[in-house]
Chain A
Amino acid sequence: MSTAESATPSRTTSPATEATTPPAGGTATATAPGPGPRRTPGLVPVTETRGTAERTPREPEPGRAGGPAAPLPRRAGAFWRLLGSELGLTFRRPRNLLMLSVLAIVPIIIGIALSLVSAPDDGIGGVIASVAGNSLMLTFFAFSFLVLLLMPVTVSVVAGDALAGEAGAGTLRYLLAAPAGRTRLLLVKYLNAAIYAYAATAVVALSSLLTGLVLFPAGPLTLLSGTTISMGEGLVRIAVAVGYVGAAMAALAAVALALSAFTEVSIGAIAATMVLVVVCQVLRAIPELDVITPYLLPARFTDFDAVLRAPIDWAALWDGLLAFAAYIALFGSIAWARFSGKDITS
C-alpha cells in the first residue's frame, strides 16, 4: 500500500522534511537528529508507556530545552489538591451522607430500645443491663452490632464505587487524560476510602456516645469482667476501639477497591465485597473451620472488644491490626496490578 510508505513519519529519513524545517527554535533540533539511536525524540516504545512512563519520568533530551517543550512544573501540593477534590466529592455526595446519617441514627434507635426494655435474666440480659447501667457501654454495643453488616456495607459502597463508578460514568478517561496518573489516582482513591471508613466509625462512636450520655447514667464504667475503670479511661478505650474498627473498615475498603478495579459496574464490586463479608461470617460460625477463621478479615472486626478486658488485650488488637495491614498490602497490590495495566475503554 503506497499510503503507508509515503505517509510514514519521515523525520529521520526524509531530507525534504529537514529542508523545510526552520533552522532555529527548540523544536527544530528535534526534527534533525544527529548520529545516535534512530529513535524519534519522545517517541515512547510500547514497553515504556503507562506505568513506567508515569513512575520514571525520562530525562529531557538535549536540544529540547526551551520552546514549546519547556518542562511543565509539577505543582507542590498537587497530590493533596486531588485528594481534597476526592474528599469533597465523597462528602458532598448525597448517597454517602445518607449512609453516614443511617449510621448515626442506628445507635440512637438501639439506645432508645434498650432504655425501654427491662433486662431479662438470661445471657443477653447482662449486656442490656450493663449498657443501661453506663453511658459509655452503648458505643461498644453499637459497634458490635454495626461492624457485622451495616458498616461494611457503607464502606464497600464508597470503595467499591471508587474506580468502577468513575469508569462506568466515563469520568475515569478524563481524569487519566488530565493526566491524574494511575498510581497517583489509585492512592488518592484508597486514602479517600480509608478516610471515609474512619469517618463512618467516628460517626457511630459519636452518635452512640451522645445517645448514651443523654439516656444512661454517666460515671465509672464497670467492665464485663467486673473491673471498674474511670470515665476518662473509658473514653480512652473508646478512642482505641475507634482506631481499631476504623482500621478494620479501611482493610475492607482495600478489598472493595481491588474488586472495583476489575469492573465498570460499581454495584458489582459492592455486591462482591458484601458476598465475601457474609460468606466469611458464615464460615466463621462453623466450628469445624476454626483453622481458617484467623485468616478471615470479618472475623477480626469484632475483636475491638479486647479494649473491654482488664487490662486491654493488646495482643489481640495487634494481631488484628497486622491482619488488616496484610489485607491492605495484598489487595492494594492486586488493585495496582490491575489498574496500572488496564485498558480504559469506557
Chain B
Amino acid sequence: MTAVTSEAGAPFGAAPPSGGEAIVTRGLTKRFRSGQVAVDTLDLSVPRGSVFGFLGPNGSGKTTTIRMLLGLVKPTAGEYSVLGLPQAEALPRVGALVEGPAFYPYLSGAANLMRFDAADPTAPRATARRRIAEALERVGLSAAAGKRYRHYSLGMRQRLAIAAALLGPRELLVLDEPTNGLDPQGTREVRALVKEIASDGTTVFVSSHLLAEVEQMCTHAAIMRTGRLVAHGTIASLSGGLAARIRVETPDAAGAARVLGALGLADVRTDEGGTVTAELGGHAPERLNAALVGEEVAVRGLAVVRPSLEDVFVRLTGEGFDVDG
C-alpha cells in the first residue's frame, strides 16, 4: 500500500503557526494484555495552532492514542509529549472529550461541570461559577444549566461534554467524535465553535469518521489503520497525494481504453456505463481529448477528477479498494 507522503524534512510543508508542536509521539505503541496491538509505533506530530483531523475506521487505535496522550492508558513503548510539558503540567491546559460524554445523572449540568472543575488542581475556585456559566453559554446550554443530566437529550449531553472541555483557558482541545449524536444544526454549531476556538490560537485535535467534516474543519490530518499511521500531512497534501484521474464518457469504451493505454496512462478502467477512467499522470487533458478524437473515438464528456479526502481515506484504510467508486 502506498502511503501519502508529505514534504521531506518539514513534516507538514507549511510553517508551524506558532512554533513547536502541540502533540508529538515517537514510536508510541500500546499492546494490551490480550496481545492485541492497538497502536503500533505511532509517529505523530501535531503543529501548534492547527486543526488536526485524526481519522481511521473503528478499532484503528484512535481512541487508544488519545487515551495515552491524556495519561489514561500507559504506552507499552515509545514516547509522547503534550504541549512540551510534563503530564501534570500539560493536562490542565488540555480540554478533552473522550469517547462520548460521561456525567453524573443525578446532578444538574452546572453541578456536573463544577465537579470536574474541582478535580483540576489548577482551576481557581473563585472564578468557577463564571467559567461554568461561560462554558455553558458557549455551547448553548445556559437554559438547561439547572436541569438534571439524566433528562438531557443526546445532543445536550454532547454539548455538555464540550462545555467541560472549555472550562479553562486551553492550549489544546482533544475532541473525540465531537458531533456524535448532534443534529445537523448542532453539527454546524460545533464546526463553527471549533473554528472559533482555533482562531484564538488553540490547537484542536479532532477525531472523526465524518470525512467531509474533517475536510471542512481541519488544516491537517492523519489517517490510522489497524494501529498504524498510513497518512499524515496537510489536507491539501493528503488529497494531492492521490493521483487525479481522467474520466472519458464515450460510446466506444474499448477504443478509448485502447487509446489511453497506448498513450501510457496507468490504471485504465472501463465501467459498465461506458465510462473510461485512468490516472492522469502528467498528461494534459486537452491533448488526451485531441488524441482520442484523432483516433476516431467519439468523446461525449471529458473531466479530470480530483480525489477527495474520502477517496484517500478509503484507499488507505482498505474499505473498498475501488477509488473511483
CA of A78 to CA of B121 in the docked complex: distance in angstroms?
5
Q: How far is the CA of A9 from the CA of B89 in the complex (A)?
A: 21
Instruction: Provide the residues of chain B in CB contact with A50, threshold 8 Å.
Output: 71, 74, 87
A187 CA to B4 CA, complexed, in Å: 48
Residues on B with beta carbons closer than 8 Å to the beta carbon of A8: 11, 26, 43, 45
A-chain residues with CB within 8 Å of residue B122 when the two chains form the complex: 72-75, 78
Q: From A8, which residue of chain B is reached at the shortest CB distance? A: B43
Q: Which residue of B lies closest to A165 (CB)?
A: B104
List B28-42 residues whose CB lies under 8 Å from chain A: 32, 41
Decide: A343 near B73, CB < 8 A? Known: A3-B230, A44-B87, A82-B118: yes
Chain B interface residue count, Cβ-Cβ cutoff 8 angstroms: 79
Instruction: Say whether A93 contacts B106, CB under 8 Å.
Output: yes
Chain B residues near A7 (CB-CB < 8 A):
6, 11, 43-45, 222, 229, 232-233
Are A9's CB and B45's CB within 8 A?
yes
State A73–B168 Cα separation when bound (angstroms): 13
Name the CB-closest residue of A to B121.
A78
Q: Which residues of A contact B321 (CB under 8 A)?
A: none
CA separation between A169 and B24, bound complex, in Å? Answer: 30
**Number of A-B contacts defined by CB within 8 Å:** 239
Query: Are the CB atoms of A185 and B119 closer together than 8 Å?
Result: yes
Q: Is B264 an interface residue (CB 8 A)?
A: no
Q: What CA separation (Å) do A177 and B230 show in the bound complex?
A: 28
Residue B84 at the chain A interface, CB threshold 8 Å = yes
Interface string of B14-29 (1 = CB under 8 A from A): 0110111100111000
In the complex with contacts A2-B3, A173-B98, A46-B78 CB distance below 8 A: yes
Known: A7-B229, A9-B11, A28-B19. 17 other contacts (CB 8 A): A3-B231, A6-B5, A7-B11, A9-B24, A27-B20, A44-B80, A53-B86, A53-B88, A57-B86, A68-B171, A75-B123, A81-B125, A94-B106, A170-B100, A174-B119, A179-B87, A179-B92
List residues of chain B with CB under 8 Å of any chain A CB: 3-11, 15-16, 18-21, 24-26, 32, 41, 43-45, 48, 67, 70-94, 96, 98-100, 102-104, 106-107, 114-125, 164, 171, 222, 229-233
A residues bordering B, Cβ < 8 Å?
1-11, 14-17, 20-22, 25, 27-28, 30-31, 40-46, 49-50, 53-54, 57-58, 64, 68-69, 71-75, 77-79, 81-82, 84-85, 89, 92-94, 169-171, 173-181, 184-185, 341, 343-345
